[in-house]
Amino acid sequence: MPYVNVQITRGATRAQKSELVADITKSLVRILGKKPEHTHIVIQEIDESDWGYAGMLTDDWKAQGGD
């Protein structure tokens, strides 16, 4: 039973999350032969102030011109 945890910063739409779940499930079926009905995918959205990148909090990094 595959369990996939996707962690992203906040901001994805419901449609984008739905597409991610569908694409990840299709990949597990195609590549590993897993059954879709046994596949669990959890999307965790994390505030940019709770995510570190390049030695900084992501919101600070973006404020300084990071993409």
- Residues with catalytic function: 2
Measuring CA to CA, how many Å separate 49 from each of 3, 11, 29, 39? 27, 13, 35, 31
Instruction: Collect all residues with Cβ–Cβ distance below 8 Å to 33 and sequence separation of at least 6.
Output: none
